Amino acid sequence: MLPYFAAAGHNLYLKSAYVYLQQMHELSSTNPAINKALMSGFHVMRRSDRFWSGLSSDLVIEQVLMRCIKTTGGLTRDKELRNIETGATGDNSVNTDNALVVGHNIISSMEGKYIDEFEFKRKNQVTTLSSKLNIKVNNEEIYVDPQLLFPRLVTTANTMFQDVSEVFKY
């Protein structure tokens, strides 16, 4: 999972998980009492104050990861990376399909450094379809300026509809 955090630019998750795994690896020597409790089954996480809300750490990680995946957009792999909702396709610079390799490269560059010494660079992370301002739709490259897109949609809606609020009900 660490490589995917690194590749996606979830830097705080990566740093936290990296340190957590290092500490857990040495827990038997640094804190034997806690290690004994964990090995005896006392290892649930709570996301709320409810008594019966304890979940195993792998389930919590899976829930957080699935929520993240579902909210970041729909990409699927065909001949090229394509947004299944809009049909926009990525060019050769979109490399989300290589996230594991990209993540491993980032993690290997972290090794041997103190956590506060390491700097994350965006150029080392994966390039997603949503991060590109030039997108290709039906083999035509289109520049999308996010600052102008919404005002243009509103202007177009004003010319086509008497009540613009109808457009934004979806």
Question: What are 149-164's pLDDT values in tens digits?
Answer: 778 888 888 888 888 7
Centroid of chain to Cα 139 = 27
Query: What pLDDT is attached to residue 168?
Result: 73
* Distance between CA atoms of residues 141 and 93, nearest Å: 14
pLDDT tens-digit readout, 44-85: 777 777 777 778 777 887 777 777 666 655 434 445 666 655
CA dist 161 and 165 (Å) reads 9
Predicted pLDDT at 165? 80
Q: How does DSSP classify residue 107?
A: H
Per-residue model confidence as pLDDT tens digits over 9-33: 888 888 888 888 888 899 999 999 9
